[in-house]
Amino acid sequence: DAGVTQSPTHLIKTRGQQVTLRCSPKSGHDTVSWYQQALGQGPQFIFQYYEEEERQRGNFPDRFSGHQFPNYSSELNVNALLLGDSALYLCASSPYTGAYEQYFGPGTRLTVT
């Protein structure tokens, strides 16, 4: 079992650009959640996808959008990048029903210059 995988590992972008981050959930999981972790802070919830729809959303602007594919993998898109978007982006997967733990991926480190 490969667990949750994310790509790329690191990414450097310029202000105003757009970025796409990718996540493959753990085998058997159908729900993907995305979190932003600024340096020295705890992760903050961005949104959750299930059945290719956004089910929950945190307090993030519309510049942050996502997608879930039929194979349950997911993408996080951020438009018009700001310096403040520099962070570690974590993907977590879980089954939708039941109170199961969320399994986290290793994250993508995004640096905006």
Partner 1 sequence: AQTVTQSQPEMSVQEAETVTLSCTYDTSESDYYLFWYKQPPSRQMILVIRQEAYKQQNATENRFSVNFQKAAKSFSLKISDSQLGDAAMYFCAYSLYYGGSQGNLIFGKGTKLSVKP
List contacts with partner 1 (CB under 8 A). Answer: 31, 33, 35, 40-45, 48, 56, 58, 88, 90, 92, 94, 96-102, 104-107
Nearer to partner 1, 35 or 64 (CB): 35
Whole-angstrom distance, CA of residue 76 vs CA of residue 53? 13
Look up residue 47 and give its two tokens: 């949104």
CA angle 111, 6, 25 (to 5 degrees): 145
Place of tokens 């058997």: 28
* Shortest distance in whole angstroms from residue 100 CB to partner 1: 7
Residue 68 vs 94, nearer CB to partner 1? 94
* Smaller CB separation from partner 1, 62 or 101: 101
Kindly report the length of the chain. 113
